[in-house]
Amino acid sequence: TNLSQTSMGAREGFGTTLGVIAATLGSAVGLGNIWKFPYITGENGGAAFILVYLLFACLIGLPVMISEFIMGRRSNAASVGAFKKLAPGTPWFLTGISGVLVAFLIMSYYTSVAGWVFAYIFKSMGGGLLTTDPKVSEQVFNSFITGTWSPLFWQWLVIIVTGAIILAGVKNGIERMTKTLLPILFLLLIICVIRAVTLPGASEGIAFLMKPDFSKITSATILAAMGLAFFKLSVGMGVMTTYGSYIGKNESLFGTAVKVMLADICVSLLAGLAIFPAVFAFGFSPAQGPKLLFMTIPMVFSSMPMGSFFLTIFFILASVAATGAMISLYNVPVAYLTEEVGCSRKVATVIIGLLMALVGSTATLSNNLLANFKVFGLTMFDFYGYITDNIMMPITGLIIALFVAWRMSKYEVADELSNGGSLNNGGFVRFYLVVVRFVAPVAIIVVLLNGLGFIKF
């Protein structure tokens, strides 16, 4: 399939089936798997939370992802343009604009964490991270992130690197890198898991992940699980609309989405299995928050031969995974400026990069100068994460689902899902329609209102 010469002009397509999945996975797999999934699971009590998360991934994340694919491939446009093409002259396109804002806000703190990961590549090379003493591990991390210039430097570097890849174009930048490096990340995680589960005292950590304690489930945990489902699959901001517009006419949208979701879940669970046995084996609390990854992983590697070497590789791969996700995020506001405002790609990339560095610095400085500056009781870092995961993505995702379910015609939706009838999957199409019309919207609304305390069960 070659979508390069389409009505949109300079839109590049993905070369192959594997390319589509690799690129979409490149957006989904990232710090969400190795950083956010473990720390949120740790804060919310383990196995029971994971079950709720898996339920939402299937019930909400997957149908919203398919909806975004439908919009993107049907319109052959990025998020805002997709609404404008499919529903000309209506205010639906504002949903696309809210997606642009969400992507921007996620980048503001995501680049901060990615900066920590980039920096940890170099710290691991020196061997200074290898310790089996949790106090030392924590101290090393804290003294790094509470600095002023060093974390800012790494964050800005991350923004520059990602911007440079964006300028190099879709095919060269994303497809090639993810296709080769994601499998290596997978392998390395498996090595970590083997080491972690054989540590003395690992069983408590395994039980934490496998034995659900439903008393840990509250309305706030349920909301967090839903937020994670959106964040993990990169849905609820139009990223997947853009990717859908690159998907060839012969690919199955449903098949692509399911494969991406399953692979993504595997990576998260592996990361959990690498981290929690170590958390318990080394005797610290699972509810460490955002520093969990940075404290535990070095300790896992310090108990194996060639620890510094593997630890360095781990953070290199983590940086690559984070970069794949950031490319897709960065691309949302850039696509908006180029396709809707008419900026050149270069100008758009630079403007967005500068704005991201500015706003993102407020997240990074939450550990330092802005530690006491709170919005609704949250530091800027936590605030960006909270409003995007728990409010903006659910609402934007809800509207995307409603748009595809009720505003697009049944015929159009069926046509996209079945590739013009050639997939012969009428039963599935009807099932999807029920989920996206009723089940997912009701679930999103109930979880949102309940989690925010507007209604109580």
Helix locations, 76-216, DSSP H: 79-86, 93-125, 134-145, 149-168, 170, 176-197, 203-210
State which of residues 111, 155, 162, 234 lies at the interface with ligand PFF (CB under 6 A): 234
Q: Closest separation between CB of residue 293 and ligand PFF, Å?
A: 12
Site string for ligand PFF, 313-332 (x = CB under 6 A): ------------x--xx---
- Sequence-distant (6+) residues with CB within 8 A of 348 are 333, 334, 337, 338, 341
| Tokens matching residue 415 | 């046509």
Q: Are 280 and 201 in contact (CB under 8 A)?
A: yes
Closest CA to 33 of 313, 265, 320, 261: 265
Q: Closest separation between CB of residue 109 and ligand PFF, Å?
A: 11
Q: Please give the radius of gyration of the chain, using alpha carbons only, rounded to the nearest integer.
A: 21
Comparing CB distances to ligand PFF, the nearer of 73 and 232 is 232
| Tokens matching residue 283 | 């005797």
State which of residues 106, 209, 279, 435 lies at the interface with ligand PFF (CB under 6 A): 106
Residue nearest ligand PFF by beta-carbon distance: 32
Closest CA to 308 of 131, 185, 113, 114: 131
According to the binding rule CB under 6 A, does residue 114 interact with ligand PFF?
Answer: no
Comparing CB distances to ligand PFF, the nearer of 82 and 414 is 82
According to the binding rule CB under 6 A, does residue 261 interact with ligand PFF?
Answer: no
Q: Closest separation between CB of residue 430 and ligand PFF, Å?
A: 29
Span of 58-66, 135-143, 233-241, 368-376 interacting with ligand PFF by CB under 6 A: 233-241
Q: Are 130 and 298 in contact (CB under 8 A)?
A: yes
State which of residues 30, 42, 163, 290 lies at the interface with ligand PFF (CB under 6 A): 30
Q: Closest separation between CB of residue 411 and ligand PFF, Å?
A: 29
According to the binding rule CB under 6 A, does residue 231 interact with ligand PFF?
Answer: yes
Tell the residue number behind the tokens 């949109």, with chain if given: 8
Span of 2-10, 12-20, 28-36, 431-439 interacting with ligand PFF by CB under 6 A: 28-36
Whole-number Å distance between alpha carbons of 288 and 449: 27
Site string for ligand PFF, 388-407 (x = CB under 6 A): --------------------
Supply the DSSP symbol for 291.
G
Site string for ligand PFF, 8-27 (x = CB under 6 A): -------------------x
Whole-number Å distance between alpha carbons of 133 and 200: 15
∠ CA(39), CA(226), CA(398), 5° rounding?
145
Q: Which amino acid is at 58?
A: C
Binding site residues, ligand PFF, CB under 6 A: 27-28, 30-33, 103, 106, 231-232, 234, 237, 239, 325, 328-329
